[in-house]
Amino acid sequence: MRKSATLALAGGLVLAACVVVPQVADAPMAKEAAAQAEAPRYDLGRPYIGGPLSGGESLIHPPPEAGSTRMTIDEEANARSLSLRGSPRWEQAARDADLGENWYGRAFSCAAGVRISPEATPRIANLLRRAGTDFGMSTGAVKDVFKRPRPFTVNGSTSCTPQEEEALRGNGSYPSGHSAIGYGTALVLASLLPDRAAELAKRGRGYANSRWVCNVHWYSDTVESQAFAGATFARLQSNPDFQADYAAAREEAASLAPAPVDEICAAEAENPGA
């Protein structure tokens, strides 16, 4: 399941990247490289819907034009992102960029007030992994239409995830699929844990903001992605498979005990947004 989701995303809708195993003469080195290549890069599941958001091109404006007020806002936010380099907020953005194992638990357990993980909350984990793929894929067609260059290719400065830059260069910036994943996940969790809705929505917005803080997206990329997340969440609610998994996740959520605040939550509270 994870491998198929990785291929779907690498096929062009979230982070168009793949791992290439180099040809090396030493057999042990080749074996180790192959093992690393097989490790799941994206902890995402089989989508409920699949494909981009229908009608997505009519949902948002075209990217800001040079010299426009919207572009000025984007440029000012980008300048701020570069001033945050090396700060705790920059480090938070790098953590939010990681879609590896249990990314949803690491990103949202603090805001949810409960421990979220495949072990502690398997039904919620399944729901978030599958819905996350739909959120990420929702922006793909519009990205291809606009093909907006990412800020790190314009300003010449590195991002908070330099290891991803080569793969991201040819992947459109507008709107942000990664932001849609984060904000959409916050919406799903807020519906499961309504008493924490404000905290989760705030964290979802901060997660989206992490993309422009990271210098891999413009501010408007992250803002517009939230509309894709909302529309995709609405679509998911009419999907029978999502409905069944959601009911199971909601039952699980009702039985969860509050989690203690730890050092990660304390650091996140100090850097909630941007």
Distance spanning both ends of the chain, measured CA to CA: 35
Establish whether 61 is a catalytic residue: no
Cα distance between residue 168 and residue 171, in whole Å:
5
Q: Which of 148, 150, 196, 217 is catalytic?
A: 217
Find out whether 206 and 88 touch, Cβ atoms under 8 Å.
no
Q: Which of 178, 196, 203, 205 is catalytic?
A: 178
Establish whether 217 is a catalytic residue: yes
Sign of torsion over alpha carbons 245, 45, 106, 53: negative
Q: What is the DSSP letter of 125?
A: H
Establish whether 134 is a catalytic residue: no
158, amino acid identity: T
The pairs formed by 240-245 with CB atoms below 8 angstroms and a separation of 24 or more are: 241/48, 242/48, 242/127, 242/130, 242/131, 245/123, 245/126, 245/127, 245/130
Query: Cβ atoms within 10 A of the Cβ of 231, count?
Result: 18
DSSP line for 148-189: PPPHHHHH----S-GGGHHHHTTS--SS-HHHHHHHHHHHHH
Cis peptide before 122 (omega within 30 of 0): no
Q: Which residues are catalytic?
A: 178, 211, 217, 221
